[in-house]
């Protein structure tokens, strides 16, 4: 109602200029009254002293009425009364408005503090605190108008601090969830009793922190999370230390294995650097510098990956040359094109391997070359089997010619007869004996089921090795000219 009256009053004031020519209008008094009423409204007089404010508006309306009726003196008197009522409203409302704003700003400030604004929104929180403190100082000095202005700033700053802190709650919840995951991971590890107790306590604190966050009490939640985090980190570092030692041992083993796989030829510097990095990591662990040790372990892992790549590349390049040579030899030997399809397939594999090698896919390239090598080896074995004929020998997976001793009551196997079968020359039995000394303790005694390596007949060198072996065979005869027709022990019949 008072607002409606004031709007009407302002409208009437705009018409004074048309009347002032005929009447001695009290413009100064009326403007003062209107300004004072506006100030009263600013300090919330409608809330704290509506009676005086309404009376001031009423008197100002009367003043305009008197002006319309050309009663200048009455208009002036009413304007002065309006000012007095408005001043009274200000005197009552201003202190209460300052106190009201202070109370509101402090409430917002406390809520912001509860939300941990000091950490999540430090600038806004500091501004709110400064505005509240300044307001109280001005109020104590009875500088109420300045205190009122500053109190409004305090309300705004406290509200901003609260909103900024609220916006950070999701991040705090994410941090809480990450810590809970750490706890679950650590519970799955092998911990001692003390560490188990630490993790259980940390878990309880995190659960309580979750409840507090649900109540927007981020300050207490953050404190509990900090305590839990300290325990989690202590246990985590202990677990990481054990894990780091295991990792160091694993990397050393891999580096040694790489050496055996000719890594020293292709990545010697990297392997030396791996050893140095792991030695340093162990030293750092002894100094309780786990984080730094983990960095060194990571460095060793990267070096190992590089060394493996260099080694694989070197082996692939080498294998490419060897399988190309094998391919060429296979084509030369396959004069009747019995294995043309298989040889062509091997050639395709080699071409694919070369492309992979050019693309930097060294592991895949090496695998292709090895696949081609296996195919070419199988072709060679098949050719060898054709060459060997039906002499009772076989070819092992390693490509060696083998003979398995069999039991025959009428025509027992012996080194003499085996040499006759595989070499077409019984006098070459010492070749078999020498090649299988680990199995043959007595050349006169062999057993069914034994598998003997059948070595190739040595190439001629000066006096032929074949002649030498025959002479050795002759010298092995007894005085009666007997040959070592080795007896086959029948106790292990198949």
State the average pLDDT for the chain.
86
**Cβ atoms of 369 and 316 closer than 8 Å:** yes
Output the six-digit token pair for 129.
């605190």
For range 445-463, the mean pLDDT: 80
The reported pLDDT for the residue numbered 281 is 94
Measured between alpha carbons, how far is 332 from 329 in angstroms, rounded to an integer? 5
The reported pLDDT for the residue numbered 268 is 93
**Cβ atoms of 56 and 39 closer than 8 Å:** no
The reported pLDDT for the residue numbered 491 is 41
Q: How confident is the model at residue 481 (pLDDT cuts 50, 70, 90)?
A: very low
Containing 446, the helix (H) or strand (E) segment is: strand 445-446
Q: How confident is the model at residue 366 (pLDDT cuts 50, 70, 90)?
A: very high
Q: What is the DSSP letter of 442?
A: B
Helix axes 218-260, 263-286, angle to 10 degrees: 140
Indicate the burial class of 165 (C-beta count within 10 angstroms; 0-12, 13-18, 19 or more): buried
Containing 182, the helix (H) or strand (E) segment is: helix 169-187
Q: Is the pLDDT of residue 317 over 90?
A: yes
**Cβ atoms of 95 and 144 closer than 8 Å:** yes
The reported pLDDT for the residue numbered 2 is 46
Residue that the structure tokens 């202070």 belong to: 102
Measured between alpha carbons, how far is 16 from 452 in angstroms, rounded to an integer? 134
Q: How confident is the model at residue 22 (pLDDT cuts 50, 70, 90)?
A: low
Number of Cβ atoms within 10 Å of the Cβ of 50: 15
* Residues 132-184 pLDDT 10s: 999 999 999 999 999 999 999 999 999 999 999 999 999 999 999 999 999 99
The reported pLDDT for the residue numbered 470 is 53
Residue 181: name the closest of 221, 222, 236 by CA. Answer: 236
Q: How confident is the model at residue 387 (pLDDT cuts 50, 70, 90)?
A: low
Report the relative pairing of strands 393-395 and 401-404 from DSSP bridges.
Answer: antiparallel
Q: How confident is the model at residue 235 (pLDDT cuts 50, 70, 90)?
A: very high
For range 82-86, the mean pLDDT: 96
Q: Is the pLDDT of residue 201 over 90?
A: yes
The region, left, alpha or beta by phi > 0 then psi within -120 to 50, assigned to residue 360 is left
Higher-confidence residue of 393 and 227: namely: 227
Residue 369: name the closest of 431, 313, 330 by CA. Answer: 313
The reported pLDDT for the residue numbered 411 is 76
Q: Mean pLDDT check: name the lowest of 103-107, 109-113, 333-337, 456-460.
A: 456-460
How far is the CA of 123 from the CAs of 132, 220, 296, in angstroms?
A: 14, 20, 40
**Cβ atoms of 135 and 98 closer than 8 Å:** yes
Q: Is the pLDDT of residue 483 over 60?
A: no
For range 300-321, the mean pLDDT: 94
Q: How confident is the model at residue 386 (pLDDT cuts 50, 70, 90)?
A: low
The reported pLDDT for the residue numbered 5 is 45
For range 218-247, the mean pLDDT: 93
Output the six-digit token pair for 139.
């109020």
Q: Is the pLDDT of residue 369 over 50?
A: yes
Q: Mean pLDDT check: name the lowest of 81-95, 190-204, 324-338.
A: 324-338
Containing 178, the helix (H) or strand (E) segment is: helix 169-187
The reported pLDDT for the residue numbered 12 is 46
Q: How confident is the model at residue 4 (pLDDT cuts 50, 70, 90)?
A: very low
Q: Mean pLDDT check: name the lowest of 45-54, 293-302, 345-354, 376-385.
A: 376-385
Higher-confidence residue of 324 and 4: namely: 324
Output the six-digit token pair for 318.
């080498």
How far is the CA of 175 from the CAs of 13, 166, 214, 226, 235, in angstroms?
A: 63, 15, 14, 11, 18
For range 373-384, the mean pLDDT: 80
The reported pLDDT for the residue numbered 355 is 96
Distance of CA 491 to the CA centre of its chain: 66
Higher-confidence residue of 116 and 17: namely: 116
Measured between alpha carbons, how far is 368 from 374 in angstroms, rounded to an integer? 10
Share of the chain above pLDDT 70, in %: 84
Measured between alpha carbons, how far is 432 from 453 in angstroms, rounded to an integer? 7
Higher-confidence residue of 445 and 390: namely: 445
Instruction: Return all residues near 493 (Cβ < 8 A) that are at least 6 apart.
Output: 407, 448
Measured between alpha carbons, how far is 184 from 28 in angstroms, rounded to an integer? 79
The reported pLDDT for the residue numbered 493 is 36
For range 36-50, the mean pLDDT: 96
Residue that the structure tokens 């001695």 belong to: 24
Q: Is the pLDDT of residue 91 over 70?
A: yes
For range 473-487, the mean pLDDT: 42
Concatenating the DSSP letter of every residue in 84-128 gives: HHHHHHHHHHHHHHHHHHHHHHHHHHHHHHHTTHHHHSHHHHHHH
Q: How confident is the model at residue 21 (pLDDT cuts 50, 70, 90)?
A: very low
Residue 58: name the closest of 135, 131, 5, 11 by CA. Answer: 5
Give the sign of the dihedral formed by CA 208, CA 209, CA 213, CA 215.
positive
């Amino acid at each position: 109602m008072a607002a409606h009256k004031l709007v009407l009053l302002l409208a009437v004031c705009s018409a004074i200029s048309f009347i002032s020519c005929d009447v001695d209008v009290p413009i100064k008094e009326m403007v003062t009254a209107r300004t004072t009423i506006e100030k009263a409204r600013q300090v919330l007089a409608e809330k704290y002293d509506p009676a005086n404010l309404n009376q001031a508006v009423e008197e100002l309306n009367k003043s305009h009425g008197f002006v319309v009726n050309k009663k200048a003196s009455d208009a002036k008197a009413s304007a002065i009364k309006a000012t007095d009522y408005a001043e009274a409203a200000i005197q009552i409302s201003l202190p209460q408005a300052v106190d009201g704003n202070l109370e509101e700003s402090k409430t917002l400030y406390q809520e912001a503090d509860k939300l941990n604004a000091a950490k999540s929104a430090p600038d806004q929180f500091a501004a709110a605190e400064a505005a509240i403190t300044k307001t109280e100082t001005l109020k104590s000095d009875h500088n109420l108008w300045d205190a009122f202005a500053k109190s409004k700033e305090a309300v705004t700053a406290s509200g901003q601090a609260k909103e900024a802190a609220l916006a950070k709650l999701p991040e705090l919840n994410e941090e809480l969830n990450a810590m809970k995951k750490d706890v679950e991971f650590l519970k799955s590890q092998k911990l001692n009793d003390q560490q188990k107790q630490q993790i259980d306590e940390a878990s309880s604190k995190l659960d309580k922190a979750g409840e507090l966050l649900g109540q927007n009490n981020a300050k207490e939640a953050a404190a509990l999370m900090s305590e839990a985090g300290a325990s989690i980190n202590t246990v985590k570092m202990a677990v990481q230390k054990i894990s780091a030692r295991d990792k160091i041992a694993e990397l050393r083993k891999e580096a040694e294995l790489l050496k055996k796989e000719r890594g020293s030829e292709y990545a010697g510097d990297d392997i030396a650097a791996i050893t140095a990095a792991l030695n340093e990591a162990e030293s750092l662990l002894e100094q309780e510098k786990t984080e730094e040790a983990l960095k060194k372990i990571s460095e060793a892992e990267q070096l190992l990956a590089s060394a493996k790549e260099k080694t694989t590349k070197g082996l692939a390049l080498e294998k490419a040359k060897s399988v190309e040579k094998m391919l060429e030899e296979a084509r030369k030997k396959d004069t009747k094109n019995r294995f043309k399809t298989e040889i062509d397939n091997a050639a395709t594999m080699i071409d694919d391997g070369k492309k992979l090698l050019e693309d930097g896919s060294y592991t895949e390239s090496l695998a292709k070359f090895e696949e081609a090598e296996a195919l070419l080896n199988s072709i060679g074995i098949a050719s060898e089997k054709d060459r060997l004929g039906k002499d009772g020998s076989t070819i092992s997976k390693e490509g060696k010619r083998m003979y398995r001793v069999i039991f025959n009551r009428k025509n027992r196997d012996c080194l003499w007869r085996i040499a006759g079968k595989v070499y077409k020359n019984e006098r070459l039995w010492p070749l078999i004996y020498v090649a299988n000394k680990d199995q043959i303790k007595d050349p006169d005694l062999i057993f069914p089921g034994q598998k003997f390596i059948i070595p190739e007949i040595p190439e001629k060198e000066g006096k032929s090795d074949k002649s030498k072996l025959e002479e050795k065979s002759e010298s092995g005869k007894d005085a009666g000219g007997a040959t070592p027709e080795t007896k086959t022990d029948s106790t292990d019949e198949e």
